[in-house]
């Protein structure tokens, strides 16, 4: 069955104000309320005095400082660290990393993956470097102190991400010296794990390929403005365009080089493997005896033989917090900046060969595989009906995702000399974020897609 689209009328926005502001902490300049702890509002008669409120805030702030000092001190082994050391010795080690590891970005993914890598990959913590922008610098430094890694806090830009070409007259220039960011941290045989936002994946992969560095990322990310620059055509702000730029880089690289896995997280990434298994499962359920395909054409032929019309990558986030969302705050369970960026990109989907007509506001791409279309509206303002095992049927947002393009492209059957498309399924991502994020999106749209000044992640600290 084809995907059912609910036509939205919201115009495609250009995000104003850039990234959201700092997370609220115990030093939040806005006054705390009784709802901060999830409790019911107190009556005026039972309100604590101003002096008690100040003492409680001071105690919380002092407790936070003590916790940070405690976790950062290598001479005070905490009970948690002892448990971690014991747990690490009990877990399976799947691989060894002989070189250095640079984790670029320390948001939700970077913070979550660090302890897993140290647990399941044989490496020295001192060979791991966390490189992040200043807004996550405190978290990266705390994690480095806890796990014994290195931390470098600097925002990568088109001007500083690689080593400057120094000439003898300016070799001592502090301006030039400050531009050497990645080169001292990576050499042949090392590994660059890119989980950042607002850093060009194409530029990073070109850098890694030239230096013999292994590379892995979870999304094809542009430099700032690539998603929301009003000077760019809508098509140029799409994931389709970003993917075509990455494919062009791959074609331009000379000969064999270091391995690079691009857009290979959970989704996009792991879901592409799950689609293959799903096709085999559907064939078995239909009573078909098939051998596992070994080529793109073979997988596409199997999907066509099964009559697959649409593939949904469906996700329903059910996480909740006792602390309600506050006005001017964007709440999410993963990167707020990343969600706002991709949510305000044009809605995209792989476009199936069975579809009879384009949506009224659809656009097609003039170059490349032609596997996808875009809509002249943001993904976070476009709803689709989908289904997930835990939730059942639900309405999700048509957020652009690389797998919607790559899976549709991979399962395309062409015939004849001109390569006419004989078969292709419709593929799209359907995302229902947590309820607090839904409220945040509603506020974002009401403010003409200008990002809220505050942000909050619903996550336990992992450092």
Binned average pLDDT, 10 residues per bin, the chain of 463 residues: 34 38 33 36 50 63 53 44 57 93 94 95 96 94 96 92 43 41 94 95 95 95 87 93 96 92 94 97 96 96 98 96 95 92 94 96 95 96 95 97 97 92 98 97 95 88 48
Closest C-alpha among 419, 421, 308 to residue 371: 421
Q: What is the pTM of this model?
A: 0.77
| pLDDT value, residue 50 | 63
Please provide the DSSP assignment of 203-251 as one string: HHHHHHHHTT-EEEESS---STTTTT-TTS-TGGGSHHHHHHHHHHHHH
Q: Where are the domains of the chain?
A: 5-19+275-457, 79-163+177-261
Q: Tell me the two tokens of residue 394.
A: 């639900």
- pLDDT at 119 (0 to 100): 95
What's phi and psi for 453, nearest 5 deg? -75, -20
| φ, ψ at 407 (rounded to 5°) | -70, -40
Nearest alpha-carbon partner for 195 in 224, 211, 216: 216
Q: Measure the CA–CA gap between 228 and 317, rounded to whole angstroms.
A: 26
pLDDT tens profile 375-408:
999 999 999 999 999 999 999 999 999 999 999 9
Output the pLDDT for position 180: 74
Q: Do the first three CATH levels of 5-19+275-457 and 79-163+177-261 match, i.e. the same topology?
A: no
Structure tokens that stand for 399 in this block: 């957020």
What CATH class has 5-19+275-457?
alpha beta
Least Cα distance to 408 among 446, 369, 382 occurs for: 369
Determine the Cα–Cα distance for residues 350 and 371; give it in Å rounded to an integer: 6
Torsion over CA: 148, 152, 156, 162 (sign):
negative
User: CA 257, CA 395: separation in Å to the nearest integer?
Assistant: 44
Q: How far is Cα 105 from Cα 321, in angstroms, rounded to an integer?
A: 25
Class in CATH terms, 79-163+177-261: alpha beta
- The CB-side HSE value for 276 (13 A sphere, CA atoms) comes to 14
């Amino acid at each position: 069955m084809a995907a059912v689209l609910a036509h939205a009328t919201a115009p495609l926005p250009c995000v104003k104000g850039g990234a959201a502001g700092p997370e609220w902490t115990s030093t939040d300049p806005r006054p705390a309320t009784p709802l901060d702890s999830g409790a019911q509002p107190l009556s005026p008669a039972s309100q604590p005095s101003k002096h008690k409120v100040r003492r409680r805030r001071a105690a919380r702030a002092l407790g936070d400082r003590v916790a940070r000092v405690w976790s950062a001190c290598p001479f005070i082994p905490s009970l948690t660290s002892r448990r971690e050391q014991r747990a690490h010795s009990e877990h399976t080690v799947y691989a060894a990393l002989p070189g250095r590891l640079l984790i670029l970005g320390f948001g939700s993914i970077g913070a979550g993956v660090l302890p897993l890598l140290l647990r399941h990959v044989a490496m020295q913590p001192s060979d791991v470097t966390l490189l992040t922008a200043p807004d996550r610098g405190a978290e990266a430094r705390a994690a480095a102190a806890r796990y014994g890694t290195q931390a470098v806090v600097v925002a990568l830009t088109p001007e500083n991400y690689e080593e400057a070409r120094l000439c003898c007259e300016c070799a001592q220039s502090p301006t030039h010296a400050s531009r050497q960011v990645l080169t001292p941290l990576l050499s042949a045989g090392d590994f660059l794990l890119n989980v950042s936002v607002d850093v060009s994946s194409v530029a990073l992969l070109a850098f890694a390929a030239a230096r013999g560095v292994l590379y892995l990322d979870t999304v094809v990310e542009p430099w700032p403005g690539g998603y929301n620059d009003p000077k760019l055509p809508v098509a140029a702000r799409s994931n389709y365009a970003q993917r075509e730029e990455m494919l062009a880089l791959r074609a331009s690289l000379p000969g064999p080089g270091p391995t690079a896995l691009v857009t290979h997280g959970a989704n996009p990434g792991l879901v592409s493997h799950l689609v293959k298994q799903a096709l085999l499962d559907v064939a078995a359920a239909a009573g078909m005896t098939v051998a596992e395909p070994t080529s793109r054409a073979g997988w596409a032929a199997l999907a066509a033989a099964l009559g697959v019309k649409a593939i949904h990558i469906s996700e329903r986030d059910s996480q909740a917090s006792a602390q309600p969302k506050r006005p001017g705050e964007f709440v999410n369970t993963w990167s707020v900046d990343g969600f706002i960026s991709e949510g305000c990109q044009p809605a995209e989907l792989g476009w199936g060969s069975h579809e009879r007509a384009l949506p009224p506001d659809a656009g097609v791409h003039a170059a490349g595989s032609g596997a996808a279309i875009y809509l002249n509206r943001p993904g976070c303002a476009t709803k689709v009906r989908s289904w997930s095992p835990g939730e059942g049927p639900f309405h999700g947002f048509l957020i652009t995702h690389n797998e919607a393009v790559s899976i549709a492209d991979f399962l395309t059957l062409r015939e004849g000399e001109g390569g006419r498309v004989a078969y292709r399924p419709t593929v799209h991502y359907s995302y229902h974020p947590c309820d607090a994020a839904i409220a945040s999106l509603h506020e974002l749209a009401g403010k003409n897609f200008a990002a809220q000044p505050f942000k909050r992640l619903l996550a336990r600290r992992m450092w």
